[in-house]
Amino acid sequence: MTPTINWPERYRPENCAVHVVNELAMDASPAAVWDCLVQASEWPDWYPNAANVVVRDAPDGRLTYGARFRWKTFGVTINTTVEEFVPHERIAWSANAFGIDVYHAWLITATPQGCHVLTEETQNGFLARIGHMMRPRQMHTFHQIWLENLRDRARQRDRQ
């Protein structure tokens, strides 16, 4: 059975104005992918759409269940909370900024070649609708870059 996102009711795709799906097969271990993904303070080093990441109550900058982090993405500074956390398998966070209500989830599934990573984001709110109408592919494009750079970073981790 293929794992799916555990959507909270208000963030289910059918209840949201925006739903973006990206996925990538990676020749990197689930452990390396997970390590790169939860080390949020390092995102700006390899993902161009992340800046000023500060994980509260975590001096090492690593995400954990319930962690709150502040960061800048798509030019907006947002406060984010980790809502789901299953090591090496899934992580999801929610955020609310400027009337945009967001849920971003990641699934890591081991494969014989490494792993498959699925990321989905839903958004609600007036500004989410406007932004999606003005730039319908922007989030998809940046999430694909995030996945590809995550793969490359995880490959490096595997070689260390």
Q: pLDDT of 65-99, one tens digit each?
A: 999 999 999 888 999 999 999 999 999 999 988 88
Is 157 a residue whose pLDDT tops 60? yes
Exposed/middle/buried for residue 134 (C-beta within 10 Å: 0-12, 13-18, 19+)? exposed
Q: Predicted confidence band at 15 (pLDDT cuts at 50, 70, 90)? A: very high
Q: Predicted confidence band at 1 (pLDDT cuts at 50, 70, 90)? A: low
Per-residue pLDDT at 136: 77
pTM for the model: 0.94
> Closest by alpha carbon to 88, among 66, 59, 60, 115?
115
CATH of 15-159, one of 3.30.530.20, 3.50.30.40, 3.40.225.10, 3.90.230.10: 3.30.530.20
